[in-house]
Structure 1
Amino acid sequence: MRTKSVVALIAAVAVLMPPAQSVAAQSVAAPAASPLQWGKCPAFDPPTVTQSECATLEVPLDYSAPDGAKIQLAVSRLSAADPAKRRGVLLTNSGGPGGAGQRFPADLVDVGLPKSVRDTYDIIGFDPRGVGRSAPVTCDLTAEQNYSSIPPYARNAADVLQQANRSRQIADQCGKSSTAALLPHISTANTARDMDTIRAALGERKVSYLGISYGTYLGAVYATMFPQRTDRVVLDSSTGPDGWDFGFQRNLARGFEERFPDFAKYVAARPQLGLGTTPRQVRAKYDALAARLDRTTTAGRSDGALFRQATFARLYYDKNFPELAGIWQAVDTGTPQRAAAAAAANDNYLASQLHVLCNDSRWPRSVLTYQVTVAIDRIRHPMFGAAAGGINACAFWPNRTPEHVRIDDHGPSNILIAQNLRDPATPLAGARAMQAALGDRARMVTADQGGHLGYLFKDNRCLNDAVTTFLATGNRPHRDLNCKA
């Protein structure tokens, strides 16, 4: 088989998402802030249909030293469509961590945010600290290093050791980069403090919130640190209550296996693809292709690892299934194909993501620990466990004092979790754990469907209406709601 002809096709993978010792969440009062000066936004790439206003806000780099060094946050606003119906502000976060959020309010409107929500709020976006236009951090990552914070699938202990060496180098680069002075201060807790500073600058007593994916953990941290300053909080596609720690990363293997049957059914219903006519045959094809590619290596990683990562990334959304099936066909037949152009390397995305992951939680620092978890997870979750259980730069991170916020149930009952049952990136088990940590503060609406993200991103009227009604009116299901597909 002409393996190298398809390696480029599967290598363009989107950069994605031990229990730590917690510290007390310090809900430092937001420093006095001048009103934001709104003006024209910088050009977004790609452009959005909806136009926002933008501003910058100065915040402390270190909230324990509020009179010390400052950084600038990039903020945006879409004013309430009907000022007569305006309730307040809706802060938003687009996930990641590492996702720029200044354009996110416009993106929400472009994908169909209902008018009732537009009428109710000024919708606020911001690039979190360390990201985009908000004091961006760098790790000076090369194209080869700019791969994913999720490690490649490890075939054996030697692969883990090889990945450890690469991860150690990345951590060292982060600690010596031109933005190293910012490194200890890029965290979820500090981003939550930034959110409260934004609230104060807007002159609001409370804020509502809509966060997706990692943004659910950020929202839960804000609701834990500043419970009485929250109005209506929506967490769509929830991490667990510890955010993206090592336990969450390992759980991605479970999410992969819960989601994969949806793709297997898609393939089995299309016998012309030649990849199997039953879900069991499709699963067997995955195993066979991955094993075949494990025999060859590209850029120090097995081609089987690239194949598994490409499959995982394209399980996020149903719209990616045709592309994923095409990748499998190319691998299966060895047919040369023109690879889709890979996305430009984005050092800031992965660098800022690592800053947050590594500063939020204590990760195991022993390579042997990862060799053991990979061996266990390869058996427990054979499709992707030896990737999700692997080692990344957090094992060697220069900052040894992460600030981990433990989510709790102290505060008003004003949180709604929206969740697909089969989500590869934020599996249902994590959302259940988040709800348990929040206690009576939270209700959950689930939808019997697969893929990442629920509200607006899937055409499920039951789930969409429940979230819209809560945001627009405050009416929330009295008990958990289960929506059919």
Structure 2
Amino acid sequence: MKHQLAALLGALTLGATCLTAAGPASATALSWQPCAQPGGPDAQQCADLSVPVDHRNPHGARLTLRVSRLVGDGPAARRGTLLVVPGGPGGSGVESLAHNGPKLREALHGAYDLVSFDPRGTGASTAAGCGLSAADRDVMNLRDWPGPGGDIRDSVARSRRIADACARNGGAVVRGYSTANEVRDIELLRQALGTAKLSMYGVSYGTYVTAVYAQEHPGRTDRVVLDSTDDPDPARVGRAWTANTAAAADERFPDFARWAADPARDRDGLRLARHAADVRPQVLALADRLDRTPRATTTAHRPFTGNVLRQAVQQALFSDVNFPWLARLVKSVEDPRTTPALPAGYTTPMPDRDASVFTATLCNDVRWPRDVRGYARAVAADRVRHPLTAGQPANITPCAFWHTAPADEPVRITSHGPSDILMLQNLRDPATPYFGALRMRAALGDRARLVTVDRGGHGSYLANGNACGDRAVTEFLLTGHRPAADTRCPA
């Protein structure tokens, strides 16, 4: 679910990972120290939480999670703790709190101590890598795009190579990257915080972690917000999240097309077409030309291919603020007089630890099909139905060759539990599409209310300027009041 892998995704191998032996699983109090992050508030504090590598062996090897907080600066009678659960898999909660904590604290009038954490494998928490080659950590390879015409032979070889490397080099830490262990870690964090109940705010993949925690520990939740949610189907989990992005791109792209065809774009030279209906064929035709004849770029030996353009489109659809960047990119690639530059993050490989935690979490959460020919058929069909994504969401991944079965069966989200959940969802989300959120809403039953925001992009609360959606979340977190029924906020 944070599918912009350059943002998700210092590599550490298992040999360099700091593990300690023995010790009880029960959490101890946290020792907070100042840890202001670049560009973040001076008041940010951090602490380390010790958790078992394997919760089934609580007296065995351990690792540490970096935890961070912004103490509420409101009146003495505060609500307690709001745990901000990061997206990903692979997102850093410490970094997120530095960037988003101040506006969240302001919106909530300092009523909560805001707490977040770096899940195992991320940020300043203990991590292990798979020892992947630089080529296999390339953003265009790890988010594996089929070759021109839908050829997946390179993808199959790469997926097998990555799975083998993780089995050979990752060890127990990589095997422990999973939603189930993140939920267990959160319960130890709750104990260490000394609070009987947590209020929780999960975004993107963090909504799934939050929903699983609320399912497993219903008596430990206070007020729960799920912002930008996907399908919780326990038979598929991450497979569904990836597959759903094909239709999600189709639902979101018209927002960009209308923007790019607006006569107002003439002022900046960014108008791509006279009519919105012409923008999609223009982009698809350009991608097809680049498939046949890639263009040289300002980076030696790194051509601008059709898949680079498709990946850039996916990245831009996350927020309207990216639309000017995408329009300039399209114009640059179309102009034979220019040498286009690759987008930022496309020229250097991801750190091994980031690539490893992203891949391993998806593979450790659920069993994936292993039939290579089945993936080839799925890619061929998906390319026809959803040419914007050209079969990538249906393509094979390292999970098809993963060496170990999931240690835990995925949790089924149900309507059994307290009615303390508020969902907020953009109507045209390119990463966690609305139809996936409706499946989570149906699973939760009367436990939840859904506020639908008539906007595009990924992430809603305090992210897209919709006062109606923001007000619903703020009021719920401050007063506990939810809409009596599901409701919709206009654009």
**In the aligned structure 1, how far is the partner of 2:173 from the partner of 2:345?**
30
Cα shift at 1:463: 0.1
Counterpart among 152, 156, 166 of residue 164 in structure 1: 156
CA distance in 2, matches of 1:184, 1:91: 25
Cα distance in structure 2, aligned partners of 1:196 and 1:358: 23
Instruction: Answer yes or no: is 1:282 the counterpart of 2:279.
Output: yes
Match of 1:265 in 2: 258
Establish whether residue 36 from structure 1 lines up as the match of residue 46 from structure 2: no
Task: Give yes or no for the alignment of 1:465 onto 2:471.
Answer: yes
Deviation, 1:106, is 3.0
CA shift, 1:364, in A, is 1.1
1:35-66 C-alpha deviation (Å, 9 max, x unpaired)? 1111122x63x431353111111111111111
CA contact (8 A) 2:199 2:224 kept: yes
Superposition pairs of residues 92-241 of structure 1, within 5 angstroms: 92-110=84-102, 112-115=103-106, 117-148=108-139, 149-156=142-149, 159-177=151-169, 179-241=170-232
Does 1 or 2 have the higher relative contact order (CA < 8 Å, sep 6+)? 1
Alignment match of 2:339 (pick from 336, 339, 347):
336
- Matched to 1:36, the amino acid is L
Aligned to 2:354: 349
Give the TM-score normalised by the residue count of structure 1: 0.89
Quick one: which of 435, 438, 441 aligns to 2:444?
A: 438
* 2:16 counterpart residue number: none
Secondary structure of the residue aligned to 2:399 is: helix
Matched, 1:77 2:83: no
CA contact (8 A) 1:153 1:386 kept: yes
Identity of matched residues, %:
44
User: How much has 1:247 moved relative to structure 2?
Assistant: 2.0
Q: Distance in 2 between matches of 1:342 and 1:436?
A: 38
After superposition, give the CA deviation of every residue in 1:91-119 in whole Å (9 maximum; x if it has no partner).
11220110111232332234x22536252
Over residues 272-309 of structure 1, what are the superposed CA-to-partner deviations in whole Å (9 max), with x where a residue is unaligned? 43521111111110111011011146989981111111
Match of 1:48 in 2: 40
**Secondary structure class of the residue paired with 1:232:** strand
Q: 1:317 to 1:209 in 2, by over 3 A?
A: same
- Structure 2 partner of 1:319: 321
Give yes or no for contact 1:13–1:310 (8 Å, CA) kept in 2: no
Q: Which residue of 2 aligns with 1:413?
A: 419
Q: What's the counterpart of residue 483 of structure 2?
A: 477
The letter of the residue matching 2:287 is: A
Residue of structure 1 equivalent to 2:57 = 65
Aligned residue type for 2:195: E
Whole-Å separation in 1 of the counterparts to 2:59 and 2:220: 24
Residue aligned with 2:357, SS: helix
Letter in 1 for 2:393: A
Indicate the RMSD between aligned Cα atoms, in angstroms. Answer: 2.3
Question: Are the structure 2 counterparts of residues 146 and 301 from structure 1 closer, same or farther at C-alpha, using a change threshold of 3 Å?
Answer: farther
Q: 1:289 to 1:340 in 2, by over 3 A?
A: closer
CA, structure 1 residues 464+440, in 2 after alignment: closer, same or farther (shift >3 Å)?
Answer: same
Pair 278,153 (structure 1): closer, same or farther in 2 beyond 3 Å: farther
Q: List runs of 5+ in structure 2 lacking aligned partners.
A: 10-23, 296-300
Equivalent residues of 1:296, 1:302 under 8 A apart: no
Equivalents in 2 of 1:236, 1:294: separation in Å?
Answer: 36
Partner residue, 2:392: 387
1:444-459 aligned within 5 A: 444-459=450-465
Aligned residue pairs, count: 457
Residue 252 of structure 1 is matched in structure 2 by 245
Cα distance in 1 between the residues matched to 2:111 and 2:69: 13
In structure 1, C-alpha distance between the alignment counterparts of 2:118 and 2:129, rounded to whole Å: 15
TM-score by length of 2: 0.88
